[in-house]
A and B are shown apart, each in its own frame.
Chain A
Amino acid sequence: MKRSFCIASFVAGCVATPIAAQVGRDDAPVLRARHAVSGLQAKVFNPVGAVRLVGWDKDSIVVRGRVVPGHRFYFGGTDSAIKFGLEERGDGKAGGRSDLVVYVPRRSQVSLKTVTGDITASDVSGWFYTVSGDVRLSGTASTVEVQSISGNVDLNVVTPWVHARTGDGNLLVRGEPQDVDASTIGGTLSIASSTILRGQFGSVSGDIQYAASPAAGGIFDFSNHSGAIEFLLARSVSGVFSLSSIIGAIENGFSQVRPIASTPQSIRLSFGRGGAQITARTFKGAIRLRPQ
């Protein structure tokens, strides 16, 4: 219970900029609806408006939303491949944002792109791209790839594969992913999932925070330049931690655990039966191990 509280507090503090809880409205008029097969391929573009995608158990796609003046809605394709979205008219009168709510068959593969619009999706797989919008994904997905220049990303998905990138935005990985490759430039990267078996986490100047119990047999690689790498670990953690920093400090908050090897720039610690292999390296950022 206490541990759950710790992680919840940690997660709550990770996303500095709150992502809009609800994007788009379910009562907006239907813009288009049609039959669609399971495994639908959908390509969606909405430059300034938000998009909320919902995977459902029906064999159809429904698009709801309000198209503001200056925008044009387009929709076309077949039962298995559909392309739709909004484009700004060329008269320069575009103003406001046209939000969309889209229902697709649950195992659909979506390619979604916005510029400033937020993205929210549940039970949808695919590629999600935004320049500055925020991304929040949940539910179950076969694969998830998220790319953002400066937006926040919150991944709370059950999926075998996650690839996520952002710049100054904060990136939070939770849920139940297995293979994760996530990085930021200056934003904080937070990991709060104990199901990860392969994890590659990197940043340049943002902090990396890991608050979970590494899975037995898991392999993790953390790399940072000037940001810190912090491990918030249960006292029952099991794994071998190889930590190295060129000029940054390495702090071991587990005073009862003696290093099995150490040099002026590195330290190697073994916890429990050594179930996971964790490697962390920085140039000048600190590396800290703290018990929960």
Chain B
Amino acid sequence: MTDSHRHLTEEQRHALADGSLPADQLVSAETHRRECVACADDVARIETLMTRARDASPAAPARALDELWPSIRMRIEASKVVPFSPNAIRLESRRRARRVGSTIMMAAALVVAAVALGVRASWRPTPLSNAADTTSLITVADSAHAYETEAQTLLNQLELRRSMLRPETVVAIDHDLHIVDSAIAELKEAIAHDPNNPALRRLLAASYRQKVDLLKRVGNAG
């Protein structure tokens, strides 16, 4: 397969450089390497790259690759049937950059999703066996959380406006808030004992919705 007239293939050069070439090919490959300056130089460059990659700090390989990249690029281009023009190479670089960017974004999205699922998984002490129930549970939990966040914002606004409200209005509002907050406290306690019960979470979401509605009405009471 390999003789003095035919250059080593890319695989053979790499295998020769890292010492993984099969024994039955090793003798002929070494013979060709001794006779062919081009192959010998290329194998030497690969060996250098591997040595640098092994020895260098994690930040260094980029520099080594930068130094080697032009010759590798030229070799790739030479092996192509239709060589790219410089412009085409730039376009290809942009496409590659976009692909890399897309890949990074997808990876980031996957990481975020994994973290979110991890948070939910850690929040739920016991898994549900039914997938539909799980989806429902997550949905209503998210709903309750959204209402809770909005209620807190509206409560802060109420505190700012409280002194401008009529005393009888404040009494009525506080009375209703007490009723809703008591219900929410009871539901949260029940959920602590039975966290996988979607009915409890729906009721909690409904109570938060009541609280948000009340606080929005209060916003018009000034």
Residues of A in contact with B (beta carbons under 8 Å apart): 113, 115, 129, 131-132, 147-150, 165, 167-168, 183, 185-186, 202, 204-205, 223, 225-226, 244, 246, 265-266, 281-284
**Nearest 10 pairs between A and B by C-beta?**
A225-B183, A167-B176, A150-B172, A185-B176, A223-B206, A147-B217, A149-B172, A204-B183, A131-B169, A131-B221
Q: Are B210 and A202 in contact (CB under 8 A)?
A: yes
User: A153: shortest Cβ distance to chain B, in Å?
Assistant: 12
Interface size of B in residues (CB-CB distance below 8 Å):
28
Query: In the complex, which residue of chain B has the Cβ closest to the Cβ of A148?
Result: B217
A-B contact pairs, 19 of them (CB 8 A): A115-B221, A129-B217, A149-B169, A149-B172, A149-B221, A167-B175, A167-B214, A186-B175, A186-B176, A204-B180, A205-B183, A223-B202, A223-B203, A225-B183, A225-B207, A246-B190, A283-B183, A283-B200, A284-B186
Given A131-B221, A149-B172, A167-B172, also A185-B179 (CB < 8 A): yes
Take A183-B210, A204-B207, A281-B199 as given contacts and tell me if A149 and B218 are in contact as well, using a CB distance cutoff of 8 Å: yes
Distance A259 CA – B176 CA, assembled complex (angstroms): 36
Choose among A168, A186, A225, A281 the residue with the greatest number of B CB atoms under 10 Å from its CB.
Answer: A225
Selected contact of A185 from candidates B197, B202, B210, CB within 8 Å: B210
Closest A residue to B171 by beta carbon equals A150
Interface residue? B213 (CB, 8 A): yes
Interface residues, chain B, CB within 8 Å of chain A?
166, 168-169, 172-173, 175-176, 179-180, 183, 186-187, 190, 197, 199-200, 202-203, 206-207, 209-210, 213-214, 217-218, 220-221
- The complex places the Cα of A132 from the Cα of B170 at a distance, in Å, of 11
Which chain A residues lie closer than 8 Å to B166 at the CB level?
A: 115, 131
CB distance from A45 to the nearest CB of B (A): 11
B175 touches A132 (CB 8 A): no
> For the complex, what is the distance from the CA of A113 to the CA of B222, rounded to whole Å?
11
**Cα distance A186–B181 in the bound complex, in angstroms:** 13
Measured CA separation A31–B59 after assembly (Å): 84
Cβ of B172 and Cβ of A113 under 8 Å apart? no
- Of A167, A205, A266, A284, chain B has the most CB atoms within 10 Å of the CB of A167
Chain A contacts for B206, CB-based, 8 A: 202, 223, 225
Asked if A283 contacts B220 (CB within 8 A), the reply is: no
Say whether A131 contacts B186, CB under 8 Å. no
Chain A's closest residue to B213 (CB) is: A165
User: With the chains together, A263 CA to B133 CA distance in Å?
Assistant: 16
How far is it, in angstroms, between the C-alpha of A283 and the C-alpha of B210 when the chains are bound? Answer: 15
Residues of the A chain whose Cβ atoms lie less than 8 Å from the Cβ of B179: 185-186, 204-205
**With the chains together, A167 CA to B207 CA distance in Å?**
13
- Contact between chains at B176 and A168 (CB < 8 Å): yes
A113 to chain B, nearest CB (A): 7
Q: How far is the CA of A52 from the CA of B59 in the complex (A)?
A: 79
Chain B contacts of A281 at CB under 8 A?
A: 199, 202-203
Given the complex, which residues of B lie within 8 Å of A223, measured CB to CB?
Answer: 202-203, 206
CB pair B176 A131 closer than 8 Å = no
Alpha-carbon distance A185/B206, docked complex (angstroms)? 11
If the complex has contacts A167-B172, A167-B176, A283-B190, are A113 and B220 also in contact, measured as CB distance less than 8 A? Answer: yes
List 20 other contacts, CB 8 Å, given A183-B210, A225-B203, A246-B199.
A115-B169, A131-B166, A131-B172, A147-B217, A147-B220, A149-B176, A150-B172, A165-B214, A168-B172, A185-B180, A186-B176, A186-B179, A202-B206, A204-B179, A225-B183, A226-B183, A246-B203, A281-B203, A283-B186, A283-B187
CB of B168 within 8 A of CB of A132, answer yes
Return chain B residues, CB-CB under 8 Å to A168.
172, 175-176
Q: How far is the CA of A285 from the CA of B214 in the complex (A)?
A: 21
Nearest Cβ on chain A to B1's Cβ, whole angstroms: 74
Assembly CA distance A148 to B209 (angstroms): 16
B220 — which chain A residues lie within 8 A by C-beta?
113, 129, 147
Q: Judge whether A283 and B217 touch: CB under 8 Å.
A: no
